[in-house]
Chain A
Amino acid sequence: MNSFVLADCSTVQAALSQLKDGAVVKAGGVDLLDRMKNGTDSPKRLVNIRNIKELRGIQATANGMSIGPLTTLGEVADDPAIREQYTVLADACGHAATPHIRNMATIGGNLLQELQCWYFRSPDFQCLRKGKEICFAFSGLNQYHAIMDYGGCPSVAPSSAAVALLALDGSVELMSAAKGKRTVAIRDFYVRPDANPQKFNVMTDDELLTAIHIPRPAAGTRSAYQKYGEKESHDWAIADAGIVLEMDGNTCRRAVVAMGAASPVVRRSREAEAALTGKPITQETARAAGQASMTGAMPLSMNAYKVQLFPVAVYRTILLAAGQMDRDPYAAG
């Protein structure tokens, strides 16, 4: 790890004034310190925002909920209102990583963590995402990589919380000293690798993530998230699903099917959603939606199994959201 200057800030204004000269923000530090230790990141200046009290906590707003980005994954998962009204988010935060990490990692940091591709994480491989020409995964080891929408980089979206927030039509509030505040929907927040391989999200270097907003759910909304790993303890998703169902009695008025581990940017499956909309939720419709979720899948040399796995994650999580199936005892987390 390189030597660096640590700017310890206790207010948003102080932090914003420090965001210059290649400074990197440190919240929980879980992902950042990993990157610094393995040499993939070596910032000269860290801006520690961990102690900015106003950025931590969960509040009801006129339109829904506002979550401070420094709220830990554990706090989000344990919040009674989140658990009741936004189950998909509580599930996603509550099954990320390990209990220890969930106690340190912030939801803001989780949304901003970088790709988990082992080539990207290795200082020995200078890849497309690091400004070079080549992706090593296509002809190399790609069993955990993307199966759709990957363009030139098949690394998968690493954040479970982002899957849930996409499903909930969430948005993030960004602030900079020069430009003030702006709000960006989660669906517009992440940058596809074919649009700009070196940019992971739309934030600029002088911006700080200051809030996460989620709208109040429509009446009759039920939701759930599940992820599958090779292991149940501490593993990255090989398939996952964030489901929001707006029900009119037995009929699904509106469905959202979101996935993370299928593509470089969290995505919704319009095909899967169409398979549910206007229909009752049953084994059959749920399975049909699962199959539909793989429309357009183009697996790589080693990950065809994910095309088989995702429909299962999707259908089981639809049934979980609908209250027709228990949480999968062998799902991860």
Chain B
Amino acid sequence: MATHIPHSVPDAALSGAADAANATKTVKMPVGIPGHTLREEERTVPASEPPVLPINSELEYIGKPVERWDGRLKVSGSARYTADVQLPGMLYAKFVNATAPHARVVSIDTSAAESHPGVKGVHIIESVLGTAVLRDPSLEKTKYPVVRYAGQPVAAVAATSPQAAEEAADKVKVKYEPLPFVVDIDLARGPNAPLVFPGAADEAGTAGGGGSEAGLPQTGNVHGPEVKKQGDAEQGFRDADVVVDARYTTQVQTHSALETHGVVADWKPDLLTVYASTQGTASVREELAGYFHLPMSKVRVITEFMGGGFGAKFGAGNPGVVAAALSRKIGAPVRLMLDREEEHLSVGNRPSSDQRLRIGAKKDGTITAIQLIAYGTAGCGTGAGCAGPAHNLYKWASLHTEENDVFINAGPAAAFRAPGHPQGAFALEQSIDELAVRLDIEPIDLRDRIDENPVRRVEREVVRNSALWKSRNPKPGADAGPIKRGVGLSQSVWYRFVRMESAAEVRVHKDGSIEVLSAVQDIGSGIKTVLAQIVAEQFGVPPAKISIKIGDTNYPVGPNSGGSVTTLSITPAVRDAAWQAAQKLLASIAPALHTTPGDLTLSGGMVRSASGKFQPIPFRSAAAKMNTDQVAAQAKRVPDYEPKKYDTYGGVDVAEVAVDTETGRIHVKRVLSVHDCGRPMNPAQVTSQINGGVIQGISYTLFEHRLLDPNYGLMVNANLDKYKIAGAYEIPEMEVILTEAYLGQSSTDASGIGEAAGIISIGAAIGNAVYNATGVRIRQLPMTPAVVLAALNQPQPMVEAL
């Protein structure tokens, strides 16, 4: 199949390069949804941009379910993850972690550890990363950092074997002066609660989100509120015919990536090399350079393969800084990988929430007011805000939200896949469902009236016509017998964030081989494959033939992967670089082929003459005619063509559940996910991300729960046995329908899917399905048998429609 991208521009366009920087051109781009709203819109773009990419159906590799570029390496065990890195003379480090939830460290005696056989060095931690910090540091003058959660790293030991390091870590004697602690959010809000911080404390967000606004008020342990008001909400409630008023609570979820946090740090006089399990090679380099006062050029960060991060793996963090410090001190490479317990305790989680949500509406569904008063705990960090969905899913006449972080003595939260949104949507989308019941309007019809997003409108139409939705009995609790079936839906919203620090180089060698270089890392979602598809499309050769070299800060800067930014940020840079390299290649070989570059096209593995000057020749043979050994081009992300336009994504998820009303068990039978992510670059990988988001969402909704003992402040289920995560039997029959929605924003017009993929909406979809099954609403996560039976046992007030 021939590709429809023009592979050259008129030769005249290559002249006048001096003006090229500011020159623009006007192009017509496909915008909208094929089969629904597809049209052409004009965009004014830099003149140096490659020709407009047609829609997926007209392309050969982009938009196709191309096999994962590194799939075979992963399934065969050949992929080298951070824990597989083995350097000559490498040492193994182990943290010494605090055993108390709140304490001053009085003394640390390392002598026994240092004389333990095999030990090469001990490091005492001077500052703990990842937590909120006091606005006024003088409130706390201590020799060692104050322990604010059980599991907080205090020191670390490096030894010649993991066993020796572990044994020696046990020999570090830390003397604590215990302080009063609080691990329960309700108690922490109380007037006489022990204080986690002696004064106001703040935490900045990471590249993945999280954190909170600086300078918010703080009363006791309550940091906030962050107040947002638009319109007059009190008037809005007075104008309402119906007010839905409910309280929702959600639990703390830990990231539980398969690969734990960790690094191998190799400090040499001329260069600090760090192999890191990270979502941001750039963020790790920046933090290490800053911490150790090194020039950026003296720090190299490598992430060849990555076993999951979900938002918790930005920056060097405590493991990165400590491993580098030990490596510098000892003069040998140091590996520091966390164990599963440390992973649960100290490197992030999704904050809890306790939300009071009021929605006022007119009889026709028009929302007159939304009010959300939310508290949540991010441990000794911040980032529990969850008002995003209330702000951004529906149109409202007035809005009032207050978000509060409540400090407790627990490990700090970190950005976690769609920060704040699974919590916020769990409440909002169940209340919208309840509103539909009260107004006696079908849930899809109500959303058609209050949701202005044109893509979700099309997605709801797909849902409305689906067999699954048609199988829904609108009457709640209609099934006879103890096991009742129900179907519910929920929507999600996420935002278009572009990271401009996204660059790549494409090289073509005289032997016909092509390579792409960028510091961008593949966190597992498959960006390597997508980059190969883009370059393959440009050169007309199969993606498997392209060498993808990424995840190394030696290459041009890449975006940190968080907030669904990777694909939409890096792919335009790669396409631009590929296109420019192709132009250089054609210019280089044209003389030998007795033609002009403009006469040459690349497709089907061949170089062709548009005017028929020669029979198509294989790409490799043509490349051999280059008048140089290599051509290369580097490009950086061009800003979105039309920022602020089409700036959200979303989807509609439908869940079918079987609720066993005698055991309180909820079994999710089927999930239909109708989602958009602009131009799907690789539908198989997009589907895979949505499958993952749905599973993670089911796991969050039904099972996962960080449990802290209230009397001692210790986590009792810091493992993968009693911290319960969905397994094979919990995975429903899943169907994903992608909505191609062209936005006309860049040379690839790619978007992102990581956050919007199911995790936001599945909780409320299950909640609404449970209501449909039983007539009872579960407003608490996780929906365990204990929670479900308690709800079913409550006498149910009759819900009366207007």
Contact = CB atoms under 8 A, between A and B. Distances in A.
Contacts of B163: 1, 3
Interface stretch (B377-385, B400-408, B602-610, B785-793): B785-793
B730 interface: yes
A141 B708 CA distance: 8
Interface string B271-287: 00000000000000000
B727 interface: yes
Contacts of A230: 665, 702-703, 724, 784-785
A302 B709 CA distance: 13
A136 B711 contact: yes
Contact of A140 (B341, B662, B709, B789): B709
B727 to A, nearest CB: 3
Interface in A133-149: 136, 139-141, 143
B660 A330 contact: yes
B722 interface: yes
Contacts of B789: 305, 308-309
Nearest to A122: B716
Given A235-B724, A309-B789, A141 B730 contact: no
Interface string A15-43: 00000000000000000001000100000
Contacts of A239: 663
A312 interface: yes
30 contacts: A1-B166, A2-B167, A34-B721, A125-B712, A125-B714, A140-B709, A140-B710, A140-B711, A140-B716, A141-B709, A141-B710, A141-B716, A143-B784, A143-B786, A228-B665, A228-B785, A230-B724, A232-B667, A233-B728, A234-B727, A235-B724, A236-B722, A238-B785, A239-B663, A305-B785, A305-B790, A308-B664, A309-B664, A330-B658, A330-B665
B722 A118 contact: yes
A308 B482 CA distance: 14
A313 B341 CA distance: 33
Interface string A271-308: 00000000000000000000000000000001101001
Interface string A229-258: 011111110110000000000000000000
B474 to A, nearest CB: 25
A188 to B, nearest CB: 30
Contacts of B483: 330
Contact of B662 (A231, A235, A312): A312
A225 interface: no
Contacts of A143: 784, 786
Given A1-B163, A122-B714, A124-B714, A231 B727 contact: yes
A228 B99 CA distance: 34
B786 A231 contact: no
A232 B730 contact: yes
B56 interface: no
A86 interface: no
A189 interface: no
A305 B729 contact: no
B59 interface: no
B707 interface: yes
Nearest to B483: A330
B206 interface: no
A200 interface: no
A228 B483 CA distance: 15
Contacts of A305: 664, 785-786, 789-790
Contact of A330 (B99, B667, B712): B667
A231 B712 contact: no
Contacts of B702: 230-231
A130 to B, nearest CB: 15
